[in-house]
């Protein structure tokens, strides 16, 4: 956690992030400080998405990202692409990775990467483990019904079970078992 001109990051709520984003558009000094914090997160030897994730985790929490989509409008969600913060990350990542021979990134790839980050932010900082534990707790004590068990594991009934020698199944070889191993 660090402070940039009075803003505690990563941002824990959308109100603080929106206030920061508004000032990011007004203050050149703030933008320069933010870029100076983002720059060490860039690893030009790795995929651009890895750098975008590192930068995003430095500034945003899952509580903020759950209120956004990357590009497409959705009900009750804001579009991250419309923020100054998004533009700043985009400009930095695209310009720096353009200098590499192998890791260039297009606008479409960047947008898809941000979409993945937003979608998987719920797994950040132990979120996946928390969800898994909640599912385990919720499912604890529940036993599958007899009908569900029999439907999920098909077993042959005693009337239909017969040996392969009596009536070969169309999925089984008509050769006796010992012959199939010797070939």
Instruction: Examine residue 82 and state whether it is found in any structural domain, yes or no.
Output: yes
Instruction: Examine residue 76 and state whether it is found in any structural domain, yes or no.
Output: yes
Given this model, what pLDDT does residue 5 score? Answer: 86
Given this model, what pLDDT does residue 6 score? Answer: 87
Mean pLDDT, rounded, for 84-94 = 97
Given this model, what pLDDT does residue 124 score? Answer: 76
Mean pLDDT, rounded, for 66-79 = 92
Half-sphere exposure (Cβ direction) of 53: Cα atoms closer than 13 Å: 16
Given this model, what pLDDT does residue 167 score? Answer: 46
- Looking at the 3D structure of the chain, how many domains does it have? 1
Instruction: Examine residue 14 and state whether it is found in any structural domain, yes or no.
Output: yes
Share of the chain above pLDDT 90, in %: 56
Domain that holds residue 64: 7-126
Instruction: Examine residue 165 and state whether it is found in any structural domain, yes or no.
Output: no
Instruction: Examine residue 179 and state whether it is found in any structural domain, yes or no.
Output: no
Residue 67 CA to residue 79 CA, distance in Å, equals 9
57: pLDDT strictly greater than 70: yes
Instruction: Examine residue 180 and state whether it is found in any structural domain, yes or no.
Output: no
Given this model, what pLDDT does residue 84 score? Answer: 97
What is the rounded end-to-end Cα distance, in angstroms, of the chain?
67
Given this model, what pLDDT does residue 132 score? Answer: 57
Look up the pTM and report it: 0.68
Given this model, what pLDDT does residue 101 score? Answer: 85
Instruction: Examine residue 32 and state whether it is found in any structural domain, yes or no.
Output: yes
Residue 62 CA to residue 11 CA, distance in Å, equals 9
CB 53 within 8 A of CB 47: no
Instruction: Examine residue 161 and state whether it is found in any structural domain, yes or no.
Output: no
């Amino acid at each position: 956690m660090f402070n940039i001109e009075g803003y505690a990051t990563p941002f824990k709520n959308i109100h603080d992030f929106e206030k920061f984003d508004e000032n990011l558009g007004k203050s050149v000094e703030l933008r320069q400080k933010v870029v100076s914090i983002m720059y060490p997160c860039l690893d030009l030897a790795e995929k651009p998405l890895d750098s975008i994730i590192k930068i995003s985790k430095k500034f945003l929490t899952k509580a903020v990202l759950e209120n956004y989509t990357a590009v497409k409008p959705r009900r009750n969600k804001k579009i991250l692409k419309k923020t100054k913060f998004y533009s700043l990350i985009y400009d930095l990542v695209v310009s720096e990775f353009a200098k590499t021979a192998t890791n260039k990134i297009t606008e479409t790839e960047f947008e898809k990467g941000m979409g993945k980050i937003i979608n998987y932010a719920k797994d950040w900082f132990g979120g996946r483990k928390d969800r898994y534990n909640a599912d385990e707790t919720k499912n604890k004590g529940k036993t599958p019904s007899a009908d569900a068990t029999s439907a999920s594991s098909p077993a042959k009934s005693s009337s239909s079970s017969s040996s392969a020698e009596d009536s070969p199944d169309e999925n089984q070889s008509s050769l006796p078992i010992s012959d199939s191993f010797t070939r």
